[in-house]
Amino acid sequence: MTLSSTSTSPKPTAPPRGGPPPRRRSARGRRLRGWFATTWFLVPALLVFVLFVLFPIAIALYTSFFRWGGFGWPEDFVGLDNFRELFADPVFRGDLWRGLVLVVLSVGVQLPFALGTAVLLNQRMRGRAVYRAVFFAPYILSEVIAGVLFGMIFLPGSGLADALIEDVPLVGGLAGTWFSDPGTALPTLFAVMTWKYFGFHMMIYLAGLQGIPKEVLEAAAIDGAGPWERFRHVTLPLLAPTLRISVFLSVIGAIQLFDLVWVTTGGGPTHSTETMAVSMFQFGFQRYQMGYASAISVVMFAISLVFSLLYQRFALRRDLQGAMTSTGGAR
């Protein structure tokens, strides 16, 4: 996907156009013309990018220095007060902690689970396509629909989950808790996240597994490698680029989690499932403290940005050679 598009660079020579017959040009002129063409093709995308990405980021950064209710122009400049308040707020510190927990769980539990499923479904077996489709299906659902669905499943007292486990020893005590108890809400949320997203990562892994040449695995088998050794020393290293992208997507997704939380719990009970994005929404659009909400969005952006840059610099370097991490001069 991303990898292939970056590796095939378009030829900069412009195709001959209609009009005057092509004259011989100097190399410099040709380069200049190529530069013009590139610019013109980039203009629409750049315009949209500046207008809808850079500009809002700049505005959010600007308003995060103000105490501002969202009406009129921000006037009450408070400097870094919003950020100071933010990091003193136990709820926001909790947001950071819960974000970290979700990231760790996503990478440590959800992705291995997806990988295991992918390896299983990469074997020849009856109904393989059906399994793949079924596991991938939740990813196609919108987060809101998934949220409403699981809201009903985990409905205290009368939901499906309660009906299923009520009489089961050991876990019977869970009935009526799920999203309703501060202690169980976050694990429940993570379970729903896993249900929703592991199919997507499984699909990526499957695609990666298909790309591993059979010859290599056969050669390893002939050399006497068992199934685990083949997986550990052949499949896994060859799958590494796919894994790195999948981890990246998973972490960014966990940092920005909003819809699912908002629909299932709204961040409760008592902030136990609140994420940064949920806090941002509550302060911005329920309390009308836009400046403070902007500060949250700036912190979220900074965390995502720093993570992406570091990750691309150190983990994705080999995969994205020349695309983002270097200046492009090497090409």
Partner 1 sequence: MGIAQPSRRSLLTALSAGAAIAVAAPALTACGGDGSGSGKVTIEWLDIATTEPSKTIYPEIVKAYEAAHPNVDIRLTNMENDAFKAKMTAVTASGDLPDIFVTWGGGVLRQRIDAGLVKPVDDSAFLDGFMPVSLQPYQFDGKTYAVPYDMGMVGFWYNKDHFEKAGIAEPPATWTQFLDAVRKLKTAGITPIALAGKDKWPGHYYWAYLALRLAGADGVAQAAEAQNFGTPPFVQAGQKLKELVDLDPFQQGFQGAAYDAPGGQAATMGAGKAGMELMGQWAPVVQKDASGQDLGDALGFFPFPAVEGGPGKVTDVFGGGNGHALSKDAPPEALDFLKFLMNEQNEARLVSSGAFMPVVKGAESAIEDPNRKIVAERLNGATGFQLYLDQAFPPAVGQEVNDGVAGLMGGQATPQEVAQAITEAAKNA
List of residues contacting partner 1 (CB under 8 A)? 70-72, 151-152, 154-159, 176-182, 185, 265-266, 268-271, 282, 286-289
C-beta neighbour count of 303 within 10 angstroms: 16
Cβ proximity to partner 1: between 178 and 198 the closer is 178
Q: How far is CA 140 from the centre of its chain?
A: 15
Give Cα 1 to chain centroid, integer Å. 15
Please give the helix or strand (H or E) that residue 76 lies within, else none. strand 76-77
Nearer to partner 1, 176 or 322 (CB): 176
| CB nearer partner 1, residue 242 or residue 272 | 272
The least CB distance from residue 226 to partner 1, in Å, is 48
Residue 255 CB, nearest approach to partner 1 (Å): 23
SS (H, E, C) 5-43: HHHCCCCCCCCCCCCCCCCCCCHHHHHHHHHHHHHHHHH
The distance of closest approach from Cβ of residue 268 to partner 1 in the complex, given in angstroms and rounded to an integer, is 6
Say if CB 204 and CB 245 are below 8 A apart.
Answer: yes
Least Cβ distance, residue 10 to partner 1 (angstroms): 25
Closer residue to partner 1 in complex, CB, 132/271:
271
Nearer to partner 1, 98 or 132 (CB): 98
Q: Smallest distance from the beta carbon of 164 to partner 1, in angstroms?
A: 15
Q: What is the DSSP letter of 174?
A: G
Whole-angstrom distance, CA of residue 89 vs CA of residue 96: 11
**Residue 73 or 228 with smaller CB distance to partner 1:** 73
- The region, left, alpha or beta by phi > 0 then psi within -120 to 50, assigned to residue 70 is left
Task: State how far Cα 206 lies from the chain centre.
Answer: 19
Q: Smallest gap, in angstroms, from Cβ of residue 266 to partner 1?
A: 6
**Distance from C-alpha of 243 to C-alpha of 212, rounded to nearest angstrom:** 14
Are the CB atoms for 176 and 102 separated by under 8 Å?
no
Strand, coil or helix: 176: coil
Of the pair 182, 227, the CB lying nearest partner 1 is at 182
State the nearest-atom distance from the C-beta of 291 to partner 1, in Å.
Answer: 11
Q: Tokens 């005057």 — which residue? A: 20
Cβ proximity to partner 1, 253 vs 266, nearer residue: 266
| Rounded-to-integer distance, Cα 295 and Cα 68, Å | 11
Instruction: List C-alpha distances in Å: 279 to 70, 259, 272, 307.
Output: 16, 12, 12, 21
3-state secondary structure 137-162: HHHHCCHHHHHHHHHHHCCCCCCHHH
* Minimum distance from residue 169 beta carbon to partner 1 (Å): 19
Q: Residue 53 carries which DSSP code?
A: I
The answer to whether 95 and 256 have CB atoms below 8 angstroms apart is no
Closest distance of CB 26 from partner 1, Å? 41
Q: Which is nearer to partner 1, 175 or 243 (CB)?
A: 175
